[in-house]
Structure 1
Amino acid sequence: MSLSVSQRGQDMPASPFRKLAPFAETAKEQGKHVYHLNIGQPDIATPPSLFEAVRKADIRVLAYSHGAGTDSYRQKLQAYYHRAGIEVDTEEILVTTAGSEAILFALLTCLNPGDELVVPEPFYGTYSAFAIAAGVTIVPVTATIDNGFALPPLADFEAVITPRTKAILLCNPSNPTGHVYTRAELEALLSLCQRHQLFLLSDEAYREYCYDGARATSALNLVGGEDYVVVLDTISKRYSACGARVGSLVTRNADVFQTAFRFAQMRISPPGLGMLLGEAAVELPESYFDENRAEYQARRDLTVRRLQAMPGVQCPVPGGAFYVMAELPVDDAERFGEWLLTDFSYQNETLMLSPANGFYQTPGLGTQQVRLAYILNLRDLDAALTCLEHALLAYPGRTLAPAAVQETAAMLS
C-alpha cells in the first residue's frame, strides 16, 4: 500500500479567484501589465489609525488572549453592532481568525459529517472548501442572472430539504453576485428554517457597502430568529484590512455559542495584533463608510456601464458588495480567462478575472460567466475594461455574430 493524501484533500477545489494566478505571473514576467479584477482585495488604503494603534500599544509580551477574544475588543464590537442597529451582548460575540474561521466554526457547530447545507448559487467559492473540511454536503439552489440573482423561489428550497438538511447559508450583500437580499426575502428564509428546524447562517462581510441608498438587513434583526440565526462577519472588507485576519461569529443561541467557543478554545486565541487593529477600526467615524461607499458606487456604475455597452454581454446591476457577475459571449469563461493572460494584450496590458464555474456547485453552470471585482481606482478600472472590450473581439472562441464583431471593431478603431 502506498502513501496517499486524505480524500478531503483530494476533493478540495482550486480557488476560483486564484486558479489563473500562475498564468498571471508568467504574463508579468513577459512584461505585460495585469489588472487584477479576480479577487476582492481593495486598493483603498487601510486607515492609518489602525496601524497607529499597534505602534502605540504598550506590549511587553504578545500573549494568548481569551479564546473568544479580548474583553476590550468584544466591547468595541458590541458598540459597533449597536451603531449598525444590531443589539447583542458581548457574550454573544466570538472573535475569530477572519471570517473564514467563523464560517468553519459555524459548520462544525451546526452540522454533523454527512449533513446537508443548502446554499443559493452562485456562492462564495470557499464555502465549498469549508464544507469539505467539515464533512458537509452543499446542496445548491440556483439563482439566475436574468433577475439579478435574487433569492430563488422558496419552493426550490423546499424541494431539496431532506432529513439530512441542517442549515441554509447565504451571503448578504452577496459575494459573488452583489445582490442585496431584502427583508422580505430573509423573513421568508427564516420562516422556512423555523418550519424545518434549520439554522440560518448569514455571512454579512459587506454590510456597509450597499448602493443607491439601500441598506442591508442583518439576519440578527429578524423577529423570532434568536434560536436560528448565526451571523458570520469580518473586518477584512469593511476597513480594507484583509490581512488583519479578524472576524466574528455572532449568535443569540447559547448552545451554538458555547459549542463554537469550545472549538475556539482548542485553537487557543484569535490574532492579538489584529484585535488591536479591530479596536481602532471601530472608532472610525461614519463618514469613513460614506466616502468609501460613494467610491465603490462610482466604480460599480463605471463597470456596469462599460459591460452593458459591450455587445453580447449580460450584466445585472449589483446592489452591494464590490463584485459583478457577467455573462460573456465566449465559448468557455475559464478558457477565455487563461487566454487573456497567455495570448492577449492591448497596449501591453491585460486583465485577470474569476471564471464563474467555481462559484457554482451544479456541474455545467457558469461556464460563460465571470466575476469581476471592481476594487481598482476608476482610471485603472476603466483601462482594464477597455482591455476586456478589445479581448472579446479578438478571442478565437467568441460567440458574437460576425456583424456585431465588425461593427464594434469599427467603433473602437
Structure 2
Amino acid sequence: MPKISNKGIHMPASPIRKLAPFADQAKKEGKKVYHLNIGQPDIETPEGMLNAIKNIDFKVWAYTSSEGTLSYRTKLASYYNKLNYGIKPEEIIVTTGGSEAITIAMMTCLDPGDEVIIPEPFYANYNGFACQNDVVVKPIMSFIENGFALPSIADFEKLITPKTKAIIICNPNNPTGYLYSRKELEDLKLLALKYDLYIFSDEAYREFCYDGESFISPMHLAGLEEHVIVMDTVSKRYSACGARLGCLITKNKKVLSTALKFAQARLSAGLVEQIAGEAAIDTPDEYFEKVNKEYTHRRNILVSALNKMEGVFCPNPGGAFYVVASLPIDNADKFCQWMLEDFSFENQTVMMAPATGFYATKGAGYNQVRMAYVLNADDLQKAMICLENALAIYPGRVINTTAAQEN
C-alpha cells in the first residue's frame, strides 16, 4: 500500500487533545470529567460579536481580500494603537486563527533547516508548525523553581549558530502563565539586534495580566521595527476559540509582501469571522475588567489548592489562564491517562495535559502537568479535591520528585 510521508510520521500528536478518547470513554461510563486540559474558556463571548453574526444581511457569501477586509484591518489598527503599537491597516494580514499567523511567519522568514530558539516549556503546536515547515526547534530550558522566568541571554547565545534565524516568545506564556518583564524583553532586543534575528511574538493572552502587572510587547521597543512579527488571535481575548480568526502584524515591508503571497495561496480568511471580529473591537472595557477579575479568582483557587497538596509545587502565574505544576508522580503521561481510565472520586475525574508535550527536550516535564483554569470556581474546587484524592492512591506516586528527577 502507499506510504505516508516522513513528515507525517514525525508530526507530533497534541498533548492537549491526544487523551480525548479516554475522556470520551470515561463519560460513556458515567463519570463527570473536569476539563483542565485545554484553553477553552467558559466565559461568554461578547454579545456584540454574536449579534454581528445574527444581523448579517449579505446576499452572497463572498471571498474577502487575502490580507483581510479593509474595514476589519482598520478597526484592528485602532485597537493596537490604543496599546501604543503605532501600526497602519496595511501592516496587518488577517489569518485563519493565530495558528495560521504562526505558520505564515515561519514560511515567510525561515528556510528548511533554519533554527528557531524557543524557551521551553512552550505551546505544543510550535513543534507541529516547525515540523510542517522543516524548521529546527532549539529549545532553551526555563525552570519551575523560578516560575519559568526567561533564561539568561548567555544561555541563548550558547544556542545561536549560523542557522539561527528567530526566537519565539509567547507572552503571557502558554503553558506556564509567566509574564515577561520589560527588562527581559529589552535583553531579547539586544540579542535580536546583535545576531540579526526575528522575534516572533505570540500575544494570544495579552489581555490576561494579573496583580497590576503590565503587558509589554516587543512592538513597544524602539529599534526592533524590522525584527518583530506579532501573531495574535481573537480566540482567547473574546472567548471565541471557534471563530478561527487571527492576524500577523509587522512593520517590515519585505516580510509583509512575502507573507501576503502565502496568504493569497490560501485565498482568504472567513468573511463571517471578520464581521464578528470587527464588532468585537467595540467590546467595552468593563467586559475585560470583569473577565480579568474572574480569572484572577480562579487562578488563586487553583494555585492555593495545588500548593496545599503534599508533594505538589505550582508557581503563581502572572498572566494567561494556565499553570504548570509538578506532581509527586512517576510519569505525567501515564498519570493523566490513569486519571481517565482507572480513577474516579464520587464518580468524577480530571483531564489534564501532560507537560512532556510542551517540551522539546527529551525527558523534560516528566512529572509536570498543565492545567487551564477555564472552569468556574465551584468546578475548579471540585476538580482539585478529585486530584488530591487521586494523588493519594496513584500507584506510581513518587515521594521525593527532586530525587527522582536526578535519577
TM-score by length of 2: 0.97
Q: Which residue of 1 aligns with 2:145?
A: 146
Q: Return the letter of the residue paired with 1:157.
A: F
Task: After TM superposition, give the deviation of residue 85 of structure 1 in Å.
Answer: 2.5
Question: Would you say 1:196 and 2:213 are equivalent positions?
Answer: no
SS of residue matched to 1:370? strand
Question: Would you say 1:240 and 2:239 are equivalent positions?
Answer: yes
Task: After TM superposition, give the deviation of residue 49 of structure 1 in Å.
Answer: 1.6
User: Equivalences for 1:9-408 in 2 at 5 Å?
Assistant: 9-400=8-399
Q: Return the letter of the residue paired with 1:357.
A: T
Kept after mapping to 2: 8 A contact 1:75/1:90 = yes
- Once residues 206 and 86 of structure 2 are traced to their aligned partners in structure 1, the CA distance between those partners, rounded to angstroms, is 15
- Once residues 150 and 367 of structure 1 are traced to their aligned partners in structure 2, the CA distance between those partners, rounded to angstroms, is 19
- Once residues 48 and 251 of structure 2 are traced to their aligned partners in structure 1, the CA distance between those partners, rounded to angstroms, is 32
The size of the alignment, in residue pairs, is 400
Could you list the runs of 5+ residues in structure 2 that have no partner in the other structure?
A: 401-407
SS of residue matched to 2:194? helix
Task: After TM superposition, give the deviation of residue 280 of structure 1 in Å.
Answer: 1.0
Task: After TM superposition, give the deviation of residue 374 of structure 1 in Å.
Answer: 0.2
Task: After TM superposition, give the deviation of residue 190 of structure 1 in Å.
Answer: 1.4
- Once residues 375 and 22 of structure 1 are traced to their aligned partners in structure 2, the CA distance between those partners, rounded to angstroms, is 21
- Once residues 58 and 23 of structure 1 are traced to their aligned partners in structure 2, the CA distance between those partners, rounded to angstroms, is 43
SS of residue matched to 2:268? coil
102-111 or 81-90, which deviates more: 81-90
1:107-132 alpha-carbon deviations (Å, 9 max, x no partner) = 00110011001000000000000000
Q: Which residue of 2 aligns with 1:405?
A: none
50-59 or 89-98, which deviates more: 50-59
Q: Return the letter of the residue paired with 2:390.
A: A
- Once residues 91 and 49 of structure 1 are traced to their aligned partners in structure 2, the CA distance between those partners, rounded to angstroms, is 25
1:315-360 alpha-carbon deviations (Å, 9 max, x no partner) = 1000000000000000111101011011110000001000000000
- Once residues 41 and 337 of structure 1 are traced to their aligned partners in structure 2, the CA distance between those partners, rounded to angstroms, is 18
Task: After TM superposition, give the deviation of residue 308 of structure 1 in Å.
Answer: 0.5
1:250-300 alpha-carbon deviations (Å, 9 max, x no partner) = 000000111111100111110111101101110001111111000000000
- Once residues 95 and 362 of structure 2 are traced to their aligned partners in structure 1, the CA distance between those partners, rounded to angstroms, is 33
Q: Return the letter of the residue paired with 2:75.
A: K
Q: Return the letter of the residue paired with 1:354.
A: A
Q: Which residue of 1 aligns with 2:403?
A: none
Kept after mapping to 2: 8 A contact 1:178/1:323 = yes
1:168-198 alpha-carbon deviations (Å, 9 max, x no partner) = 0010000000000011111111110111111
Kept after mapping to 2: 8 A contact 1:208/1:215 = no
Q: Which residue of 2 aligns with 1:404?
A: none
Task: After TM superposition, give the deviation of residue 400 of structure 1 in Å.
Answer: 2.8
1:79-105 alpha-carbon deviations (Å, 9 max, x no partner) = 111222221100111100000000000
Task: After TM superposition, give the deviation of residue 218 of structure 1 in Å.
Answer: 1.2
- Once residues 263 and 140 of structure 1 are traced to their aligned partners in structure 2, the CA distance between those partners, rounded to angstroms, is 27
Task: After TM superposition, give the deviation of residue 47 of structure 1 in Å.
Answer: 1.5
- Once residues 24 and 123 of structure 2 are traced to their aligned partners in structure 1, the CA distance between those partners, rounded to angstroms, is 24
- Once residues 265 and 357 of structure 1 are traced to their aligned partners in structure 2, the CA distance between those partners, rounded to angstroms, is 36
- Once residues 307 and 301 of structure 2 are traced to their aligned partners in structure 1, the CA distance between those partners, rounded to angstroms, is 10
Task: After TM superposition, give the deviation of residue 215 of structure 1 in Å.
Answer: 1.6
Q: Return the letter of the residue paired with 1:212.
A: D
1:190-249 alpha-carbon deviations (Å, 9 max, x no partner) = 110111111010000000100001121011111111010000000000000000000000
Q: Return the letter of the residue paired with 2:391.
A: L
- Once residues 294 and 149 of structure 2 are traced to their aligned partners in structure 1, the CA distance between those partners, rounded to angstroms, is 24
- Once residues 42 and 7 of structure 1 are traced to their aligned partners in structure 2, the CA distance between those partners, rounded to angstroms, is 35
Kept after mapping to 2: 8 A contact 1:51/1:277 = yes
SS of residue matched to 2:57? coil
Task: After TM superposition, give the deviation of residue 399 of structure 1 in Å.
Answer: 1.2
- Once residues 144 and 50 of structure 2 are traced to their aligned partners in structure 1, the CA distance between those partners, rounded to angstroms, is 40
